[in-house]
């Protein structure tokens, strides 16, 4: 199963914009997560077949912010966690991102 994938790696100054996201398997995305989600501000995003976005950004303290933009509500569902939980979350995905299966999300207005 594939998802659209985008990222920014500030340590190498490389990126793929969300509007230019490329198709990747979940295994490849998890590999990218292991390498990219180590430095503050680096982020990865995936987009499912329903255009639901799931983003991961490294915070200054090393935690990772899980973020699901809710454009129609002008905010995001978010939570902070660690890399292992983020990888488990992506590894458990099926055909689409099911927001209700992600525990601990809180809405934050933009």
User: Hey, CA dihedral for 65, 68, 69, 72, is it positive or negative?
Assistant: negative
d(CA 106, CA 108): 6
d(CA 81, CA 95): 23
Residue 18: closest CA among 33, 32, 36, 4: 4
Q: Is the pLDDT of residue 1 over 80?
A: no
In this predicted model, what pLDDT tens digit does every residue of 21-67 receive, in sequence order? 999 999 999 999 999 999 999 999 999 999 999 999 999 999 999 99
pTM over 0.85: yes
pLDDT confidence of 80, banded at 50, 70, 90?
very high
What residues are paired with 70 via a beta bridge?
Answer: 75
> Which residue bears the tokens 């994938």?
5
Q: What's the pLDDT score for residue 2?
A: 83
Average pLDDT over residues 60-79: 97
In this predicted model, what pLDDT tens digit does every residue of 21-32 receive, in sequence order? 999 999 999 999
> Which residue bears the tokens 């200054």?
60
* Residue that wins the pLDDT comparison between 23 and 95: 23
Q: Is the pLDDT of residue 17 over 80?
A: yes
Q: What's the pLDDT score for residue 95?
A: 85
């Amino acid at each position: 199963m594939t998802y659209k994938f985008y990222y920014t790696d500030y340590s190498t100054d490389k990126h793929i914009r969300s509007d230019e996201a490329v198709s990747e398997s979940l295994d490849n995305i998890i590999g990218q997560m292991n390498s990219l989600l180590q430095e503050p501000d680096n982020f990865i995003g995936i987009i499912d077949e329903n255009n639901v976005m799931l983003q991961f950004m490294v915070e200054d303290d090393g935690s990772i912010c899980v973020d699901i933009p809710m454009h129609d509500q002008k905010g995001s569902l978010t939570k902070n966690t660690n890399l292992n939980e983020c990888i488990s979350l992506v590894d458990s995905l099926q055909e689409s991102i099911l927001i209700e299966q992600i525990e601990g999300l809180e809405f934050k207005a933009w």
